[in-house]
């Protein structure tokens, strides 16, 4: 209905100590006030952003709206609030306007953004440093293992050289060759014989392995 409201109210405002609320939905936290006409005594129009309705107020007038605008404290710093306390023809109007952006808001926002960027940079640097320490730790471990392997090789070579020097290259004493038994049919101390004794039921001959007496005496000597 109107191009630009005269007052954009923030939070609950009070007219003669009573909360200013929407006459349709009862909300008091999303109201705008606009002057109607040119007479100071004419009622101001109160519109509600919550329900979209509006109406002329029975106490709030154009003159009181002008007085509230003149009494507005405005904002210079980011922490300031735009409040007002106005009185016109015995009617008291107290409240706060929606804050308008000031230069300090931009400055404080820039500082907050810079702090956040520095924090992220520190976290990335710490993460990169951790990866670098992990990489160098792996390299050092591999280098220690390589040094240990090299030392083991040097030690083995030194021991081999000392052995060559002391023994002339002689290896361990060779095992004596096992003497072959002269008994016919002896293999590993067991002799295979053919007999019918174990095959009486079938009448056929069978083979049996018995310990070799020569090998047994040789082992006991």
Tens digits of pLDDT across the chain (221 residues) = 556 888 899 989 999 888 998 888 888 888 989 988 888 888 999 998 988 888 888 888 899 999 999 988 888 888 888 899 989 888 899 999 888 777 776 887 787 888 888 888 888 888 888 887 888 777 778 888 888 887 777 777 776 776 666 666 566 555 666 677 777 778 777 877 776 655 555 566 677 777 877 776 666 65
At 174 the pLDDT is: 58
CA atoms within a 13 Å half-sphere pointing along the CA-CB vector of 171: 2
Q: How far apart are CA 132 and CA 125, in angstroms?
A: 10
At 111 the pLDDT is: 78
At 217 the pLDDT is: 67
At 92 the pLDDT is: 93
| pTM of the complete model | 0.46
């Amino acid at each position: 209905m109107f191009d630009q409201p005269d007052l954009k109210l923030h939070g609950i405002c009070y007219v003669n100590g009573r909360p200013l609320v929407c006459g349709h939905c009862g909300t008091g936290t999303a109201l705008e006030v606009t002057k109607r006409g040119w007479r100071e005594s004419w009622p101001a129009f109160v519109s509600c952003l919550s329900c979209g309705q509006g109406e002329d107020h029975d106490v709030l007038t154009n003159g009181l709206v002008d007085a509230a605008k003149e009494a507005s404290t405005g904002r210079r710093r980011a922490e300031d609030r735009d409040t007002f306390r106005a009185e016109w023809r015995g009617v008291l109007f107290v409240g706060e306007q929606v804050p308008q952006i000031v230069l300090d808001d931009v400055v404080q926002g820039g500082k907050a953004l810079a702090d956040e960027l520095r924090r992220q940079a520190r976290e990335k640097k710490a993460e990169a440093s951790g990866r670098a320490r992990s990489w160098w730790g792996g390299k050092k471990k591999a280098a220690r293992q390589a040094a240990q392997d090299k030392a083991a090789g040097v030690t083995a070579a030194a021991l081999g050289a000392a052995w060559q020097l002391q023994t002339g290259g002689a290896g361990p004493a060779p095992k004596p060759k096992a003497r072959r038994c002269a008994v016919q049919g002896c293999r590993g101390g067991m002799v295979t014989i053919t007999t019918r004794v174990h095959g009486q039921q079938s009448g056929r001959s069978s083979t049996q392995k018995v310990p070799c007496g020569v090998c047994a005496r040789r082992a006991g000597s």
